[in-house]
Amino acid sequence: MKIISVVGARPNFMKIAPFIKAIESYNNNESAEKITHLLVHTGQHYDDRMSKAFFKALHIPNADINLGVGSGSHAEQVGNTMIAFEKVLEKERPDWVVVVGDVNATLACSVTAKKLNIKVCHIEAGLRSGDMTMPEEINRLVTDRLSDLLLIPDSISGENLKTEGVPDNKIAFVGNIMIDTLEANRSKAEKLTIENIITGNVLSTLHSSFFTIHYSLFTQQRFALLTMHRPSNVDKKEVLQPIIEFLSNEVTKDMHLIWPIHPRTQNRLREFGLWDNLLTNEKVILLHPVGYHEMLKLNMEARIILTDSGGLQEESCVLGTPCLTLRWNTERPVTLREHGGASVLVGNNVERIRKEYQNTLKLTRSPQRPELWDGKTAMRCVEAIVKYK
Ligand code: UD1
């Protein structure tokens, strides 16, 4: 059997790493029919800190083919990926294309494969935010509609697919593959120090010297961890500015704020004239995008996390970090407090963020583990593909 799996953007890498390892262990089984595997990187994320660093840290083999698509509008990214990926499929003729998550690579490669009558397997199928203004929701809907095998991370996703009329025999409940990566890397992350993470990734010289002097005070108080990159939060000044003011004027009265910053967000902050004030705020520690283990360690140690990332919502659930999700909806309801998780939706309205921030500071770390988020999902994915009829 020949499988091509696809990655494009940062959140794909932690999902594909355990899948590739599971194929290797499956192939070690003498009696199994061997799987030939090729990895395609669409090139949507290309900076070393957004891509190469994850391949290295998670021991992902170099991509067999890089489509070099890069940045652009959605139509440009999807269109260029389809044109380049079609050539790969014509040449390689795999039995399966495996896509993960909900980025533009997921959509583009599943459409291209189905047009060539190649079977598609979607890992992380069935997530629905119900928000059609999110590009990722469109990617999820189209990919799931086309997929032959839909591997779901939780039972709510299964219900979503059944409501849309997907037959049971196309769906397999495998658990959350990102948690395989978390469990495999937890002990390595634990050994890192916050001080080294900061000094190795800090964006401003102000903070490198600050930390040498004040590090003990900083660790005592702990810190808030922030990530923010969704277009709905960062692309409009009238939305972004009040959030930044709340974070840099109010949250910093309680503790430091550590913020590994996404290139999209940094570009917008500069464009909106908000960057220089942040750089000179002693309590806001701006970092370059950090590696997988560094982010895991920051999440393990944070007093509170504020994020609009889906993956961080899931990791915070398993690590128990009290989490404010800077969105009005989520395709990952299993991570919410009403389902036993660590997160609460706060949108991007400062009144609401402030109120939930104050409530959340009273909470303590409380790890939760949804069903089958057990670190063994990847092998279940491989087995589901092999068994598919
Ligand atoms: C993409 C995904 C999003 C995911 C996010 C994780 C889609 C539709 N969106 O959003 O679901 O949560 O990745 O990071 O696929 N840039 C760089 N270097 C890079 C990559 C991007 O500087 O290596 C800058 C460019 O200015 C680019 C901008 O970031 O235009 C946005 O990148 P893009 O890949 O279009 O979308 P993300 O916001 O990263």
Buried/exposed code over 97-126 (b: 16+ C-beta within 10 A; e: otherwise): bbbbbbbbbbbbbbbbbbeeebbbbbbbbb
- More confident of the two residues 313 and 203: 313
Q: Per-residue pLDDT averaged across 315-321, rounded?
A: 97
- CA-proximal residue: ligand 1, atom 26 (nearest): 264
Separation CA 378–CA 153 (nearest Å): 11
- pTM for this entry: 0.96
- What's the whole-number average pLDDT of the chain? 95
Buried/exposed code over 33-42 (b: 16+ C-beta within 10 A; e: otherwise): eebebebbbb
pLDDT digit string, tens, across residues 271-316? 999 999 998 888 899 999 999 999 999 999 999 999 999 999 999 9
* Pocket of ligand 1 contains residue 235 by CB under 6 Å: no
* Pocket of ligand 1 contains residue 232 by CB under 6 Å: no
Output the pLDDT for position 220. Answer: 56
Query: How many angstroms separate the alpha carbon of residue 187 from the centre of ligand 1?
Result: 29
- CA-proximal residue: ligand 1, atom 31 (nearest): 264
Nearest residue to 325 (alpha-carbon basis) of 316, 231, 263, 139? 316
pLDDT digit string, tens, across residues 349-361? 999 999 999 999 9
At 190 the three-state DSSP class reads helix
Per-residue pLDDT at 222 exceeds 90: no
Per-residue pLDDT at 61 exceeds 90: yes
Query: How many angstroms separate the alpha carbon of residue 263 from the centre of ligand 1?
Result: 8
Give Cα separations from 338 to 37, 332, 345, 386 (angstroms).
40, 12, 11, 36
- CA-proximal residue: ligand 1, atom 13 (nearest): 9
Output the pLDDT for position 214. Answer: 61
Residue count (the chain) = 389
Separation CA 94–CA 105 (nearest Å): 17
Element (H, E) at 305: strand 304-307
Per-residue pLDDT at 75 exceeds 60: yes
Query: How many angstroms separate the alpha carbon of residue 169 from the centre of ligand 1?
Result: 34
Per-residue pLDDT at 219 exceeds 90: no
* Pocket of ligand 1 contains residue 104 by CB under 6 Å: yes
Nearest residue to 304 (alpha-carbon basis) of 282, 320, 290, 286? 320
- CA-proximal residue: ligand 1, atom 28 (nearest): 264
Q: Which residues, listed in sequence order, are joined to residue 227 by a DSSP beta bridge?
A: 307
